[in-house]
Structure 1
Amino acid sequence: MTISIEKPIFEEGSAFQKKSEDKTGELNLDGGFSMPEMATKDDDEAFLAPEMNAFGRQFRDYDAKSERQKSVEEFYRLQHINQTVDFVKKMRAEYGKLDKKVMSIWECCELLNEVVDESDPDLDEPQIQHLLQSAEAIRKDYPNEDWLHLTALIHDLGKVITLPQFGGLPQWAVVGDTFPVGCAFDESNVHHKYFLENPDFQNQAYNTKTGIYTEGCGLNNVMMSWGHDDYMYLVAKENGSTLPSAGKFIIRYHSFYPLHTAGEYTHLMNDEDKENLKWLHVFNKYDLYSKSKVHVDVEMVKPYYMSLIEKYFPETLKW
């Protein structure tokens, strides 16, 4: 099942608009770098990424008039007002303790069944289905990159912090697009107008392009708005995951749409970030376009993913 895009809905500046193939048959994205060639499948096995989401609307359309869109906009209003430097520091300190629970990766996957992402305009299915849909689509197109299959499976596990046993954070502190704090809020951020009410907006130390950072400082030195991305990255890192750097980068920045789709904030990146961003561009297509009402048989694919968890993670982790 090869995902091929026919007239997809892209936001301006998406790297996937620049996809090309060189004479060696290797896939090149946004600048000519070489990636592993996708597995070749017969046409009748190909999966065509849909132009419309499960609600019959364009993907990531935040301006459509609907009840769900109204709730999504309200979500971003709260997120943009409340995600400040002080709030992020507080959350990093609290969740950096990793004292909420001890459990395995798969146990966390099952817990995620209780979570519905209120910021997502494209789907209201249980989260474990989105994880498996993404992972299975990547697995078929990149069969030799097992770390990428596992990264897809676990990339949203941090959303458990919205559950009571993990502190019950409000959705605006867990999901949605992420962005740096401590520097100017770029206009590529969804519903940018609500940043006007953020206390940091008028802080002169934070309202320049680089703010408290320097050009090329590296995203690892940049504070991102707090949410499931940074939390799951922290869990993976502190529990000694052996996922490659690109896998951890995907986990930490997959919701950073102003970077990987709009192409903004690149002035903060270092060379390692630029290399890892290539894999994030690959991943994003599957993260967004594999969302479906068609469910994956969990028990059928579970043994494969359990073997990957055993390869890249300890049996139990501190959360």
Structure 2
Amino acid sequence: MSVATAKQIRDYTTLLDPSEQLRPEPIYAGKLQSEFRNFNEESDDPIKQRVRKTYELMHTNQTVEFVKSRMRDWLRFNKFKMTVKDALLKLNDLVDESDPDTSLPNIVHAFQTAESIREKHPDKGWFHLTGLIHDLGKVMAFYGEPQWAVVGDTFPVGCAWGDSIVYRATSFDNNPDGKDSRYNTKCGMYKPKCGISNLMMSWGHDEYLYRLLVHNKSKLPKEALAMIRYHSFYPWHAGGDYMHFCTSEDIEMLKWVMEFNKFDLYTKSDSVPDIEKLWPYYEKLIDEYIPGLIEW
């Protein structure tokens, strides 16, 4: 296992901080960059109230034992069989309760993400498909999982919580792992430089879809699998936390996760793609990389 060098981490830190104070703030989908992921509390804003409640439940209940229980339940892949397209269509009925940037059905976000990737990376069909399916693990919300165990930013369990986690100051107050000496230190139950892939992540749609794609032998490349597994791991790819666990391979994969994040986050708008017109193109990609009935 290759350990991340000090230079790699410095290079990443430079990449991570795009503030470039002298440049004008970028605008995406008609919004300033700083207007996305606004988690400030406003008592009269029902969306922000919904978001805060979702994260408080998540941060209270996502423990090592809880994650183990969800893995035992979901990673048998015996819930149902469904094609990727049918799973995407189910997202018509899902609004992410953790997202302060949109209240549109999740399938709209899927196509917004995929089409923005396609525009910038026209020769990478696997990347387009990754954008389309990256939130498919959210189908768990239709099969008994509360949204706090499906959506939202992810973080490792079994070690101290990173400073950049949303609502970090108070939202973990009632999580029992914070009082458990096995789990409440910087490294907790892990070793330094053990590799991000060896961390047990809070349970949610990222880890589930990653495991599902591996189980069903999808043909997506490792870069796509990393994007899917860590696209909600904002404390790492946006906050710079947990770098003490990184290897050099993690730093390389992180570049792809950050590239994906630009399209995942900054394409959320009220502009709805012509989904029916786009289906034939994406159905061909599904047939190439993840065909047929999938075990969920």
Aligned to 1:91: 70
Distance 1:85 1:73, change over 3 A: same
> 3-state SS of the aligned residue for 2:18?
helix
CA RMSD of aligned residues (A): 1.9
Q: Report the CA distance between 1:86 and its aligned residue.
A: 0.1
Paired residues, number: 275
Q: Report the CA distance between 1:147 and its aligned residue.
A: 1.0
Q: Report the CA distance between 1:95 and its aligned residue.
A: 0.2
Aligned to 2:18: 17
Aligned to 1:318: 295
Q: Deviations over 1:253-273 (max 9, x none)?
A: 100000010111111122222
Unaligned segments of structure 1, at least 5 residues: 1-11, 20-46
Distance of 2:198 and 2:184 partners within structure 1: 18
Distance of 2:284 and 2:272 partners within structure 1: 21
One-letter amino acid matched to 1:17: P
Is contact 2:29-2:269 (8 Å) kept?
no
> 3-state SS of the aligned residue for 1:17?
coil
Distance of 2:86 and 2:273 partners within structure 1: 18
**Higher-RCO chain (CA-CA 8 Å, sequence separation at least 6):** 2
Distance of 2:111 and 2:104 partners within structure 1: 12
Unaligned segments of structure 2, at least 5 residues: 1-12, 21-25
Is contact 2:29-2:268 (8 Å) kept?
no
One-letter amino acid matched to 2:64: V
Is contact 1:181-1:225 (8 Å) kept?
yes
Aligned to 1:302: 279
Distance of 1:281 and 1:120 partners within structure 2: 19
Distance of 1:186 and 1:51 partners within structure 2: 31
One-letter amino acid matched to 1:316: L
Is contact 1:75-1:118 (8 Å) kept?
yes
Distance of 1:266 and 1:305 partners within structure 2: 36
Q: 212-221 vs 86-95, which deviates more?
A: 212-221
> 3-state SS of the aligned residue for 1:247?
helix
What are the equivalent positions in structure 2 for 1:221-300 lying under 5 Å apart?
221-300=198-277
Distance of 1:51 and 1:76 partners within structure 2: 27
Is contact 1:147-1:247 (8 Å) kept?
yes
Q: Which of 136, 148, 152 is residue 157 of structure 1 equivalent to?
A: 136
Q: Deviations over 1:41-95 (max 9, x none)?
A: xxxxxx9514638xxx921111141221112111111110000000000001100
Is contact 1:85-1:182 (8 Å) kept?
yes
Is contact 1:14-1:260 (8 Å) kept?
no
Q: Report the CA distance between 1:244 and its aligned residue.
A: 0.8
Aligned to 1:184: 160
What are the equivalent positions in structure 2 for 1:47-62 lying under 5 Å apart?
49-50=28-29, 52=31, 58-62=35-39
Distance of 1:267 and 1:220 partners within structure 2: 13
Q: Report the CA distance between 1:126 and its aligned residue.
A: 0.6
Q: Which of 205, 228, 237 is residue 182 of structure 2 equivalent to?
A: 205
- TM (norm. structure 1) is 0.83
Distance of 1:16 and 1:304 partners within structure 2: 36
Q: Report the CA distance between 1:15 and its aligned residue.
A: 2.3
Q: Report the CA distance between 1:144 and its aligned residue.
A: 1.1
Distance of 1:227 and 1:162 partners within structure 2: 10
Q: Which of 42, 47, 59 is residue 68 of structure 1 equivalent to?
A: 47
Q: Report the CA distance between 1:293 and its aligned residue.
A: 1.0
> 3-state SS of the aligned residue for 1:121?
coil
> 3-state SS of the aligned residue for 2:172?
helix
Distance 1:50 1:298, change over 3 A: closer
